[in-house]
Amino acid sequence: MAKGEMKYSDFVEVYEELYATTKRLEKETILAGFLKKLAKEGEPEWIYLLRGKVTPDYDDRILGLSDKLAMKAIGKTFGIKDEEIAKRYRKIGDIGELAEEFAGRKRQTSLFARKLTVEKVFSNLRKVMEVEGKGAVTGKTALISELLGNASGKEAKYIVRMLVGQLRVGVADATLREAIAEALFPEEKQEMGKKLEVAYDMANDFAIVFEAASKGKKELDKIDIVVGRPMNVMLPVKVTEIGEAFRICGKPAAIEHKYDGFRVVINKIGNDVKLFTRRLENVTNQFPDVVQTIKKFIKAKEVILDSEVVGYEPKTKRQRPFEAISQRIKRKYDIEKLEKELPVEVNVFDIIYHNGESLMQKPFSERRKVLEKIIPYEKWKIRLSMQIVTDSEEVALKFYNEALKAGEEGIMIKNLNAGYQQGRRVGYIVKMKPAANDLDFVITGAEYGSGKRGGMLTSYIVACREGEKYLEVGKVSSGLKELEQEGGTTYEEMTALLKPLIESEKGKVVKVKPKIIVSVTYQNIQGSPSYDSGFAMRFPRITNYRPDYHLKDIATLDDIKMEVEKAKKGMSHLG
Ligand code: ATP
């Protein structure tokens, strides 16, 4: 086979194999075999297709077509009336299988269809994503029809699944990384797996990592942080007492307030400022005030800063809870108005890049020195995070209590000698805050309210994560009323967020694609047959909508088991 001529059916074969197993190791082996072939194609971007994407992970554009539009395209391709499509869809219940059925029928009659190449599929899908504005629907439909018209049944199934953003072959980023290691470095799989993880955290782009790895270890080492592109941040582990914090971080350690705001990674190249969340979303447009502050007060030419952006009441200057500022993240219009109603202050706590040099490997104490030089104190606009350095538990606890009195969430304890390591792996930073029974879950279902809240989804089924599956842990119907009163997420907003994600409806109950993440407090968790996790929360209440969280951040089944164990031992969150 000539280079670049790979057939889409090769991908489909792999999808089918991946779909047939839930075992991670088996998936790795399947992928590794395929990646060896793919590495020879010289088209590293095609690797995105294995995760149902046509862009790197840091790119926040998605395919995510509605089922309705996908049905339209299927109908148009095969000349079938809307009603018939809708009828079959109700019967089959899966848009991919619907496409498979119609494409399969057609193949028997038209034997002259061309074989689909990966290149064609990739480039059309990318165009589908990019077409915008007037005539977008027609443009998208034509691109899709061109693919479906030449696709076999199985090919059509996966093309359509990809289009609606539900490939469902379950390839987590870790699985793909391990598979690259197995395919390209079978002798040193473990060591290279770690290297690939570091490289991936910096690039957030499988094409870059895969291409470098195909060329060898040295190329992989060259992958570095790039100013202006989103990156994964360093995350803390949790402790409940100060001794443990020092054991993890060493003595002396730096201790800072844990601000209750919103994590923003600030990128500046000359006069160009970009802001990203920890979920790699670009929020530059939502925070023109922060952009202005950075342009005005940061003299360095090129920097990447890690910060917590905190909202405050314009009159009283009282700090607002995270939920209030999350309004600003979501808002795409009336930004100026919101900027005045909800001003923010940037608390800078780390630096990753400075004037042409990556500081990732430098100890935190040195990074802090650079920060002290370049971050001015501009009240209500920008400041360095409050910090002390101590080896005394007593001093640390005093600082902790003061932080709580000042209305902060708690403290962060940081290893002074450690580099900036992305992810939650190492425990270079640690958080300590008063315990609360609080976990983050994803909404997988909802129920319509009645009376005044008739058209709105007002109670929510929430789920934890087990590998790539989502298991229900309860139904939450309280919390949003309080949030509304505090200026947070309203029932209407939650309904608007969930409606496009609806997958099926039965009476008042809907199932939704797992996407919307919420923090939930509860009294306790008990074993229960009512939900498929085997556990249920008592008295759950939503405390926050977390648009800044990623699905991988939510509570896992193991987290829940741990909570249950802790509660049994009577040491659950007495703090
Ligand atoms: P939870 O509410 O479940 O504890 P969280 O939103 O506080 O979650 P964590 O990962 O537990 O998130 O805590 C780390 C977060 O704390 C960081 O992502 C950052 O947004 C925030 N933070 C506030 N102040 C600091 C600080 N001084 N240094 C580092 N992170 C800080």
Question: Is pLDDT at 112 greater than 60 in this prediction?
Answer: no
pLDDT band at 544 (very low <50, low <70, confident <90, very high): confident
pLDDT band at 566 (very low <50, low <70, confident <90, very high): confident
> Which contiguous run of DSSP H or E holds residue 159?
helix 153-163
Question: Is pLDDT at 261 greater than 80 in this prediction?
Answer: yes
Question: Is pLDDT at 113 greater than 60 in this prediction?
Answer: no
Kindly list the protein residues whose Cβ atom lies closer than 6 A to any atom of ligand 1: 235-236, 256-259, 263, 278, 308, 349, 385, 412, 431
Residue ID of nearest Cα to ligand 1 atom 30: 258
Residue ID of nearest Cα to ligand 1 atom 7: 260
CATH superfamily, with its number, for domain 67-163: DNA ligase, ATP-dependent, N-terminal domain (1.10.3260.10)
Query: Domain limits of the chain?
Result: 8-52+170-221, 67-163, 234-432, 438-574
- Across 512-520, average pLDDT: 94
Query: Does the pTM exceed 0.75?
Result: no
- Across 174-187, average pLDDT: 96
Residue ID of nearest Cα to ligand 1 atom 24: 258
Higher pLDDT: 438 or 465? It is 465
pLDDT band at 574 (very low <50, low <70, confident <90, very high): very low
Question: Would you say 343 and 314 are in contact if contact means Cβ atoms under 8 Å apart?
Answer: yes
Bond preceding residue 252 cis, omega within 30 of 0: yes
Rounded to whole angstroms, the Cα distance separating 201 from 231 reads 7
From ligand 1's centre to the CA of 262, what distance in Å? 8
In 3D, which of 420, 299, 411 has the Cα closest to residue 367? 420
Alpha carbon dihedral 118, 123, 125, 126, in 10-degree steps, equals 140
Backbone angles phi, psi at 319, to 5 degrees: -65, 140
* pLDDT at residue number 22: 86
* pLDDT at residue number 1: 53
Tell me the fold of 234-432: D-amino Acid Aminotransferase; Chain A, domain 1 (3.30.470)
* pLDDT at residue number 111: 53
Question: Is pLDDT at 279 greater than 70 in this prediction?
Answer: yes
pLDDT band at 575 (very low <50, low <70, confident <90, very high): very low
* pLDDT at residue number 5: 82
Rounded to whole angstroms, the Cα distance separating 511 from 491 reads 17
Active site residue 258: yes
Does 438-574 carry CATH code 2.40.50.140? Answer: yes
From ligand 1's centre to the CA of 51, what distance in Å? 29
* pLDDT at residue number 332: 79
Catalytic residue among 76, 258, 414, 433: 258
From ligand 1's centre to the CA of 497, what distance in Å? 25
Which region among 43-57, 149-163, 293-307, 472-486 has the lowest average model confidence (pLDDT)? 472-486
pLDDT band at 573 (very low <50, low <70, confident <90, very high): very low
Question: Is pLDDT at 108 greater than 70 in this prediction?
Answer: no
Q: What is the mean pLDDT of the chain?
A: 90
From ligand 1's centre to the CA of 258, what distance in Å? 6
Rounded to whole angstroms, the Cα distance separating 134 from 24 reads 43
Residue ID of nearest Cα to ligand 1 atom 17: 263
* pLDDT at residue number 459: 93
* pLDDT at residue number 30: 98
- Across 157-168, average pLDDT: 93
Give tens-digit pLDDT for 472-512. 999 998 888 777 766 677 888 899 999 999 999 888 999 99
- Across 254-276, average pLDDT: 96
From ligand 1's centre to the CA of 415, what distance in Å? 16
Query: What is the chain's Cα-based Rg?
Result: 25
Residue ID of nearest Cα to ligand 1 atom 31: 258
Share of the chain above pLDDT 70, in %: 95
* pLDDT at residue number 454: 79
Alpha helical stretches, state H, 4-81? 8-19, 24-39, 67-78
